[in-house]
Structure 1
């Protein structure tokens, strides 16, 4: 394992500026290869360390959000497929921006579906990018820093973690419903 780590370190050092650029491009191409976001962010932490890995993941995820927006608005069939998936998964459910951001922390929730949901919630490209980028800060940091630890937890700790996130999601939902009722 130490030899692998040393080889990897030498490769990154030898690649120079190209390694971070390729890592960011990998984030953008990630959906094509069906690689989960958490895997790429963990790799960023391993390859570049916490700070640089989190920054590079944030940049890559932000570019991926931009590309998602452009794809949805350019290709009607892609938009139609996401709309169908949204109906299946969220079936006439309305969520707040905070809930979408929280769901982005859950590693097995479809990242592009959440981006699409956010697109439908916002009125302009600028507003979408604002909320999207804001919602990418925590996943980039948490996945990079704790992704390896989360996936290394025993099964019961992982279940408790996801139950906690689901509970938090439900609490936000109830809070939104309570505060959005007309007086």
Structure 2
């Protein structure tokens, strides 16, 4: 890990004032080279520190969300691919905005799929970006600040953390079902 830290620091020193721009580009190409969000945010924390790394990660994630929205609207093949993925991963299930936001915190959950769910739940680009802005704040902060710590947890702590997130997801789902039943009556 020390070698990685030194490599990132050397790259940032050599990139100078262009380093934040390169980092944003990394966020934009991340899904196409199959890098997980958590890995890129960790790099942001190592390279720029907590505050600047969080801000840059947030901006990068917001830009990626906007791009995915327009790709889903403009490319029917991409839209079909996301629809098929949605049916394979969550067949016959409707997620709430809260569940999508919680899934954003979980490492290695498909970013584009969550954007697709959010797009289906919202009526306009403005509303989509509003919920994206709220839903991407916590992952940017958590992954940048604690990303390194989370990856260094012992395996049992990582599994415990994952189970806590899954339990929260299921509680939100149950709450939404109860609320829907009460609204119908």
Same fold, judged at TM 0.5 (above): yes
- 1:112-134 CA-to-partner distances (Å, cap 9, x unmatched) read 10000100111111111110111
C-alpha spacing 1:115/1:2, structure 2 compared with 1 (3 Å): closer
> What is residue 178 of structure 1 aligned with on the other side?
178
Q: 1:106 to 1:4 in 2, by over 3 A?
A: closer
What is the CA-CA distance between 1:10 and the residue it aligns to?
Answer: 4.5
Task: From the superposition, tell whether residues 85 and 7 of structure 1 become closer, same or farther in structure 2 (CA, over 3 Å).
Answer: closer
Residues 61-109 of structure 1: CA distance to partner in whole angstroms, max 9, x if unpaired? 0000011011111110000000000011110101110100000001121
| Cα distance in 2, alignment partners of residues 147 and 107 from structure 1 | 10
Q: How many Å separate the matches in 2 of 1:164 and 1:3? A: 33
Aligned residues: 183
Structure 1 portions without partners, runs of 5+:
none
The residue aligned with 1:138 is 138
1: CA distance between counterparts of 2:4 and 2:39?
Answer: 18
TM-score calculated relative to the size of structure 2: 0.94
The TM-score with structure 1 as length reference comes to: 0.95
CA distance in 2, matches of 1:10, 1:164: 38
Looking at structure 1, the residues matched to 4 and 36 of structure 2 have their Cα atoms a distance apart, in angstroms, of 23
Instruction: Spell out, residue by residue over 1:117-165, the C-alpha distance to the aligned partner (whole angstroms, 9 max, x if none).
Output: 1001111111111101110000000000111111111111000000000
Task: Give the structure 2 partner of residue 79 of structure 1.
Answer: 79
Is the 8 Å Cα contact of residues 5 and 46 (structure 2) preserved in structure 1?
A: no
C-alpha distance in 2 between matches for 1:5 and 1:162: 27
Please list, as runs of the form range in 1=range in 2, the aligned pairs for 1:110-125 lying within 5 A after superposition. 110-125=110-125
- Superposed CA RMSD: 1.5
| DSSP-derived class of the 2:88 partner | helix
The residue aligned with 1:67 is 67
CA distance in 2, matches of 1:80, 1:153: 38
Segments of structure 2 that go 5 or more residues without pairing to the other structure are none
Q: In 1, distance between residues paired with 2:75 and 2:95? A: 25
Residue pairs, 1:17-32, within 5 angstroms: 17-32=17-32
